[in-house]
Amino acid sequence: MRTTSGPHGHRSARIVALLAAAGVPFAEVGAHRASLEEAYMELTRDAAEFTSTPDLTDGEVTR
């Protein structure tokens, strides 16, 4: 059993014990820390500063 830190500084063994005591099914407990880029992409995935529409003019500009 690993002893790496988990959420809020708890040890993974403690997390496993809490899950088991509560009857919560789980397959694996492990630490994952997102990179700054991963966190930014997750937070901004639905935001769009610029959007486009299909070009229906075949390259001709109409005004």
How would you write the pLDDT of the chain (63 residues) with one tens digit per residue?
444 444 555 677 888 899 999 999 988 877 778 899 998 998 998 887 777 777 666 666 655
pTM, two decimals, is: 0.35
CB 41 within 8 Å of CB 35: no
CB 17 within 8 Å of CB 11: no
